[in-house]
Chain A
Amino acid sequence: MTGSVLTRIAAGAVALALAVSMSVGTTRLAPWDVLSEDAQLRALAATVLWEVRAPRTLLAAMTGASLALSGAVLQGLFRNPLADPGIIGVSATAALGAVLAFHFSVATPIAGGLAGGFVGALLLAALAGRGAGTLTLVLAGVAISSLAVALTSLALNLAPSPFAAYEIMFWLLGAVADRSWREVTTTLPFVVIGWAMLLATGRGLAALTLGEDVARSMGLAQGRLRGLAIAGTACCVGASVAASGGIGFVGLVVPHLLRPLVGHDPRRLLPFSAAGGAVLLLTADIAVRLVPAAQELKLGVATALVGAPVFLWQVLRLRGIR
């Protein structure tokens, strides 16, 4: 498929997902109710659409794009098909940072999420240094992730609020329900900065696909590339997790689904991954609102249902290659 057709399809898919997300809710209110004759219904629809559904929709799109984009960058950087902010532990350390900052009233959750994201990304880069194999990277990620989840649970149990201990589900599985413009406006700047850094890695990652030696001979500054990838991931994943909790598998699934369509060139894959991540998470968020459960499902449940099979398929494929 040619680039312009793909771009149009991607833009159309994002627009459609945004529109459906604004139209679907836990009540039967529809966007056209803002034009209703009934003044009361009109006011209610306006409040619900603008104050409830719009921030939720934007947050889902931003979070999905951040996770998928950083997944695509990390897969390119580590040249490892299993890299994903959830699997390598950055989401978990970001959640830990946000929990410590928020529940102990030390700082804003965003600041905590960013700090946690940086710690996780740097720890991983140190543990699974240059040229680390798939196994090393994933095992280091599992270790960081498990430790961060355990510490998050400990922190929630020790937090001064009696409700904190029950909030582990949100931090592990994520949700954008009832988020407001407060979260959108505090998250957006960091997410945009993170996207800019991650998108700037496209050329370097393209050179890296030819192998490290060739890339070096082409004049690639690997230190700068790693720095951009790690800082960009920490920025946009850290801020997203602080606002919507840890949502797994988006960063893993989206690049794998898109490679057969857009090819392996990171310069093309990265922007399409961002769009695909937004569409996937918006779709997941629409699904959790439509499932008639007494308590709304967490977003991570929906993404894991799609993501875990893809993860297994990747593992089996890797084994087949060896």
Chain B
Amino acid sequence: MRQAALRGVSALALAFCLTVDASAGGATPMRIVSANLCADRLVIDLVPRERILSVSPFAADPGLSPSSDRAVGLPVNRGDAEEILELRPDLVVTGAFASRGAAALLRRAGVAVHEIPVTADLAAARAAIRDLARRLDAVARGEAMIAALDARLDALPRPLVSVRAVSLHAGGWVAGAGSLADAVFSRLGIVNAAASRIGFVQMDVETLLSHAPELFAVERHGGPAASRAAEAMTHPALARGAARRVEIPARDWACADAGLGQAAALIAGAAR
């Protein structure tokens, strides 16, 4: 009984391997599953809707994705290996933060998985978009996306006098050197007041103020949902003194894609 069941499972796995191998050899993927918000945003912008089998539950949330309108009605997956295998995709696009276990299981079952890396600067962001576009056989659209982002960043005004800014995120996390926010600041000619720290660091209000920021770029999460993490950004001490404040919708900071252009535009406007 048990052996029969095992044999059944391995036969099933083998069947998956065969179907996947037949289509994975560099051909244009036609059955794409996106298992992560940032993957959703890029995939939806890069390929026609018919080629997308399923997206993450966040893809259709206008508070999280600028392309949410085009995700409405697409089937949704929660990112676990079992339900993705059942869809028989020829490519699964996921992010480095998404379930590692699921990606490994999918690979072992012979499914092609493309992982979008975490990017800490604009060059890496461009490279990640280019890689994915090549894998999706959508090179021209990928290049257009990159060119549009660069053109938008180039067109933004630079502050006339030096401005020290911090990028403040839910829970008191601050973007130090080696983060996308730091890259956007330096592209705009703005000084990152937290540049002495590496990556994202959690700062209490006292430490944050001691970095003497003149501009707070505060990530804003849509909706009425209350959390202590969101409350951390409304401490009255942050409103004291002459520091300015600009709110950046969370969706503009969430991923290394066209959203960065929107975040940069808001920051550039506030830093003038």
Cross-chain pair count, CB within 8 angstroms: 89
Across the interface, A105 reaches (CB within 8 A) one of B209, B221, B224, B229, namely: B224
Residue of B nearest to A167 (CB): B228
Instruction: Check: B5 CB closer than 8 A to any chain A CB.
Output: no
CA distance A170 to B231 in the complex (A): 13
Q: Which of B131-139, B187-195, B198-206, B261-269 is the interface stretch?
A: B198-206
* A contact residues, range: 20 to 34
Instruction: Check: B171 CB closer than 8 A to any chain A CB.
Output: yes
CA distance A183 to B262 in the complex (A): 35
**In the complex, what's the smallest C-beta–C-beta distance from A112 to chain B, in angstroms?**
11
Instruction: Check: B223 CB closer than 8 A to any chain A CB.
Output: yes
Q: Are B237 and A27 in contact (CB under 8 A)?
A: no
Which residues in window 150-194 of A have CB below 8 A to B?
A: 159-164, 166-167, 170, 177-178, 180-182
Given A48-B237, A51-B240, A295-B202: A163 and B209 interface contact (C-beta under 8 Å): no
CA distance A108 to B73 in the complex (A): 37
With a cutoff of 8 Å between Cβ atoms, the chain B residues found around residue A40 in the complex are 212
* B contact residues, range: 20 to 34
Residue of B nearest to A160 (CB): B225
Which residues in window 177-221 of A have CB below 8 A to B?
A: 177-178, 180-182
Instruction: Check: A26 CB closer than 8 A to any chain B CB.
Output: yes
CA distance A52 to B239 in the complex (A): 12
CA distance A90 to B263 in the complex (A): 45
Q: Are B229 and A163 in contact (CB under 8 A)?
A: yes
CA distance A51 to B243 in the complex (A): 15
Given A47-B241, A163-B171, A167-B229: A296 and B235 interface contact (C-beta under 8 Å): no
Instruction: Check: A312 CB closer than 8 A to any chain B CB.
Output: no
CA distance A102 to B230 in the complex (A): 12
Residue of A nearest to B64 (CB): A162
Complex A-B, nearest 9 residue pairs according to Cβ-Cβ distance, in ascending order: A51-B237, A161-B225, A163-B229, A161-B227, A160-B225, A163-B227, A27-B210, A47-B240, A178-B205
